[in-house]
Structure 1
C-alpha cells in the first residue's frame, strides 16, 4: 500500500494509472516530429536509468554504512577548528544580543536624564508637582 495526499493506493491501481497515462502519451506522440520524438526517447531512457539506480541498494544487507560525523563543509578542518566553526554563530548571536541590551539600556538612561534635565530647568518649582492644585495651575499658567 502506498499513501499519498490523495489517499491510499495499491500497486495494482498505480499500474493501471501508469498504463492509461502511457497509452494517452503514446497516442499523442504519433503526431510529433522526428526531433521531438528522439528527444523524448532520450529523456525516457535517462529517467529509466535514474529509476534503476534509485532502486539499487546502497550496501549489501550485512553491512551498514556509517558517516564520519563531519559535514562536507568542515571536512578539511582540525577538530578544534571544527568545534569553533560550529560554536561561532552561537557566540556571535549572544554577543549581538548583549550589545543590543546595553544599547537599549543606555538609550533609556539618556531619555530619563533628558526628562530630568527638562524638569529641573523648567520654571515650575518642584513642590508644585505634589500640590493638589497642580492641575489648576497647569490650566491657568501661561504657555511659553
Structure 2
C-alpha cells in the first residue's frame, strides 16, 4: 500500500494566495488613509517574518505523515559521511582483534608455564592423572611469581 505524501505547506501557501487575492479585490473600495495603513501593516508583517533560510531548515528535517524523518534533498553519500559511518565499525573490529590477541597470549603463556613446571619437577606418574594437579601447579606458579 503506497502512502501519498501530504505537504501541508503547499495547502497553506495555496490558502494564503487565495486570501491575498480576496483581500486585494476588497481593498479597491477602501479609502486612501485605510489603504495606506494596510500597506504599512503589510510591510511590518513582512519585516517580522522569519527569513526563508530558517524556514527551509525546519522543513528539511520534518516528520512525514507516515512517521518517517526526512533529510535535506541534497544530502547524499559523500566521502566524509562514508568515513564517519565506517569509523565506529572499524574501531569495533580493531578492539575485538586486540582482545583476541591478548587472550590467546594469556592462554599460551599459562600452558607454557604448566609444561615447564611438569618437565622440571620430579613427580610420581600418579600425580599427572590427579584432577587437582593442574590447580596445584597454578598455585605454585603464583607463589613463585610473587617471590620473584
Query: Shorter-normalised TM-score: what interval?
Result: 0.3 to 0.5
When normalised by structure 2's length, the TM-score is: 0.37
Structure with more relative contact order (C-alpha pairs < 8 Å, separation 6 or more): 2
